[in-house]
Amino acid sequence: METLSENRCFDGVQGVYRHASGSCGCDMTFGLFLPEEAGDGPVPLLWYLSGLTCTHENAMTKAGAQQWAAEQGIALVFPDTSPRGDNVADDPEYDLGQGAGFYVNATQAPWAPHFRMWDYVAEDLPALLAENFAIDPDRQAITGHSMGGHGALTLAMGLPGRFRSVSAFAPISNPAGSDWGRKQLAAYLGDDETAWARHDASLVMRERGFDGPVLIDTGSADQFIDLLRPEALADAVATRRQPATLRLQNGYDHSYFFVSSFIEDHVAFHAEALWA
């Protein structure tokens, strides 16, 4: 593992690191904020999964989450959204290929050799964090924005017992039923839609739900709301009678101005579960 930078931040450290990923078969970069308390021993960890076109850096510099994580004494990890490099497949469109991993393990050419973001977030990066940093692996929570909200929800429900709480900002809630999802799931997983189901938050919510607190925020003025399909997730929550808080925030759009407006709520929400 290579340290690219470390900066003092709210009495903790905001670092950026690069490592060889066995899951993705290439070098991967991630950001990690460790609060001051990490100097005394392992601290809880909140994952933040970013959306389309993002790297590890977007949320790390725009969300303003470190201040609130420092107040709560929890760490934040900001993974990249896809494998990258000259030998990694890409697509000229912004919503497929590098920057658009969709948190799945691709099975189709040319994506299969590197696009294994489910394994990267579920196995590869957690092992690296536990080995190298003061992280408590038994106290983890997960959140994300847009494509990252989709990933946070599907990983939380798909890995029972891993995460104590899950939240999302404007998640892609029903990718199997949306143009933001059908294209990518077909490209990465093939045309058999049964293989898509475990990566659709609304379908997984109906099937198994989540054994813990759930918080979802979406802006009423989100320019992509028809692609996000929050109503599909709300219907699944109601059908399953899943305890959850789903909020439609009046006048907010899809940007990081929206995320930064409600990140304090989300960090506090997760801290309550992580320190329980």
The answer to whether residue 23 is catalytic is no
The answer to whether residue 222 is catalytic is yes
* Residue among 157, 162, 127 at smallest CA distance from 46: 162
**Distance in angstroms (rounded) separating the CA atoms of residues 223 and 134:** 40
Q: List C-alpha distances in Å: 27 to 88, 190, 225, 251.
A: 11, 26, 34, 40
In the block, residue with structure tokens 């994506």: 111
Q: b/e for 13-45, b at 16 or more Cβ within 10 A? A: bbbbbeeebebbbbebbbbbbbbebbeeebbbb
Strands of the sheet with 12-21, listed across from one edge:
2-9, 12-21, 26-34, 75-79, 43-49, 135-144, 166-169, 214-219, 245-249
Indicate which residue of 80, 95, 200, 222 is catalytic. 222
Indicate which residue of 56, 254, 266, 270 is catalytic. 254
The answer to whether residue 145 is catalytic is no
Mapping DSSP to helix (H, G, I), strand (E, B) and coil, where does residue 2 land?
strand
Q: List C-alpha distances in Å: 38 to 5, 246, 263, 272.
A: 18, 32, 21, 18
Indicate which residue of 146, 173, 178, 202 is catalytic. 146
* Residue among 226, 210, 224 at smallest CA distance from 254: 224
Report the catalytic residues.
146, 222, 254
